[in-house]
C-alpha cells in the first residue's frame, strides 16, 4: 500500500502556514490513481488555501512499480532508508534509480513503462543535442530542455526545445545500441547503488573520458 502523512507547509507566496498531504511511498500497482498522478506530476501540485496560489512542492518519495519491476527514489540526497533494501530488489530483477527533480521522475516513469533502457535514452538525448548544435539549429545556451517522448517500433522520439522553436528526432534504437557496444564499460551502472541516470550523468561520461575532471 501507499503511505502518506499530513505535514505543515509555509506558502512561498503569502508566507502563511497550512497543512498538506505528502506521500512517502506510492505503489503503482495497488494505487492506479496515484500512479497516474505521479506520471503527470500532479501529485506534487498544491494550492495555498489562504492566497489560492498554485505551485509545486517536491519532497522525497519512493515509487514502486511491481508490474514493470522498477523503483524510483525522488530525492536530492544520497542518504535514505531505501538504501537498506536495494540488494533484494536487485536480486528480484528491479531497476533502481534516484531522480533529482520532478521532471526527471515523471520522465523516468514514462521511459520504464515503455520498456526502454534509460541509459540508452540518455545517450540518444545527448546525440540529439550534438546534432542540433552541429547542424546550427541553435546554440547550446538556447536549448531549454531535451525530452524523451516515446519508444515504439524500435524508434525513440526525442524533442529538443528552445524558447521559440524546437526540433523532434526519431532515433533507431539499434544505432544507439551499436554506439554503446563500442565501450560497454563506459555506460555500465549498478542498480544497487540507486544511480542517477540523467543528462548531467551522460555529459559527465564524455567529460571524464576526455580527461576533463
pLDDT digits (tens, 9 = 90+) for 175-184: 999 999 999 9
Please tell me whether residue 115 adopts helix, strand or coil conformation.
coil
Question: CA-based Rg of the chain, rounded to a whole angstrom?
Answer: 19
The grid coordinates listed for 180 are 554503446
User: What local confidence, expressed as pLDDT, does residue 80 receive?
Assistant: 80
Count of other CB atoms within 10 angstroms of residue 167: 16
Return the domain boundaries, the chain.
3-113, 118-209
User: What local confidence, expressed as pLDDT, does residue 209 receive?
Assistant: 56
Round to the nearest angstrom and report the end-to-end CA distance of the chain. 44
Please tell me whether residue 18 adopts helix, strand or coil conformation.
strand
pLDDT over 70 at 211, yes or no: no
pLDDT digits (tens, 9 = 90+) for 125-160: 999 999 999 987 878 888 999 999 999 999 999 999
Q: By C-alpha distance, which of 100, 36, 40, 34 is closest to 72?
A: 100
pLDDT over 50 at 16, yes or no: yes
Amino acid at each position: 500500500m501507499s503511505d502518506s502523512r499530513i505535514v505543515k507547509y509555509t506558502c512561498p507566496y503569502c508566507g502563511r502556514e497550512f497543512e498538506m498531504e505528502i506521500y512517502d511511498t506510492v505503489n503503482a500497482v495497488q494505487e492506479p490513481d496515484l500512479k497516474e498522478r505521479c506520471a503527470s506530476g500532479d501529485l506534487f501540485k498544491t494550492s495555498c488555501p489562504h492566497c489560492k496560489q498554485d505551485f509545486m512542492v517536491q519532497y522525497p518519495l519512493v515509487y514502486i512499480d511491481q508490474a514493470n519491476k522498477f523503483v524510483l527514489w525522488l530525492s536530492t540526497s544520497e542518504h535514505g532508508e531505501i538504501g537498506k533494501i536495494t540488494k533484494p530488489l536487485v536480486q528480484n530483477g528491479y531497476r533502481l534509480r534516484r531522480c533529482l527533480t520532478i521532471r526527471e521522475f515523471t520522465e523516468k516513469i514514462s521511459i520504464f513503462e515503455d520498456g526502454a533502457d534509460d541509459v540508452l535514452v540518455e545517450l540518444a538525448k545527448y546525440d540529439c543535442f550534438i546534432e542540433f548544435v552541429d547542424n546550427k539549429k541553435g546554440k547550446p545556451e538556447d536549448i531549454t530542455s531535451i525530452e524523451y517522448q516515446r519508444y515504439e517500433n524500435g524508434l525513440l522520439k526525442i524533442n529538443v526545445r528552445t524558447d521559440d522553436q524546437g526540433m523532434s528526432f526519431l532515433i533507431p534504437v539499434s544505432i544507439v545500441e551499436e554506439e554503446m557496444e563500442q565501450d560497454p564499460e563506459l555506460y555500465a551502472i549498478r542498480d544497487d547503488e540507486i544511480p542517477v541516470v540523467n543528462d548531467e550523468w551522460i555529459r559527465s561520461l564524455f567529460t571524464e573520458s576526455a580527461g576533463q575532471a
